[in-house]
Amino acid sequence: MTQFELFLSIYIIFTGFVSSGVLGSFYQYWTMEPAGFSVKYDSWLKSFFGILFCIFAGPFIIMRNTLRGRKIEGRPLGWVVAASALATLWSFCIGVLILHTILMLRASISTLI
C-alpha cells in the first residue's frame, strides 16, 4: 500500500465517521435523547427513515455506547478494540458511499454546465 492509498483510506474513514457523528449529534439535539439502534414501526415511512438513520449513524452509536460501556460498566479492552474495528470498517463503507455520491453529483453537474 502506497502512502497515497493509506492517506486516501484514512480520509475516507474520517469522512464516514464525521458524517455519522454529525447525523447522530443532530438527532440527539433535535430529539433530546441519545441516538440508538431502535426503529419505530408506526408506518413504513418512519421505518424506512429509521433504518437509513441507523445505517448512516451506526459508527457514532457504536463508539458512544462502547466508550460509555467501558467507563460505566468496566467492559474489557478487547471489547473496545473489537467495537472500534467494527465502527472503523463501517465508517469506511459510509465514507466511500458519501464520497462516491459527491463525485457523481459533481460530474453530472459539470456536464450540464
- pLDDT tens, 6-19? 999 999 999 999 99
| Overall residue count recorded for the chain in this entry | 113
* pLDDT at 21 (0 to 100): 96
Rounded Cα gap, residues 33 and 38, in angstroms: 12
CB atoms within 10 A of CB 18: 16
Rounded Cα gap, residues 87 and 9, in angstroms: 14
Residue 1, pLDDT > 80, answer: no
* pTM for the predicted model, two decimal places: 0.89
User: What value does the mean pLDDT take over residues 98-105?
Assistant: 96
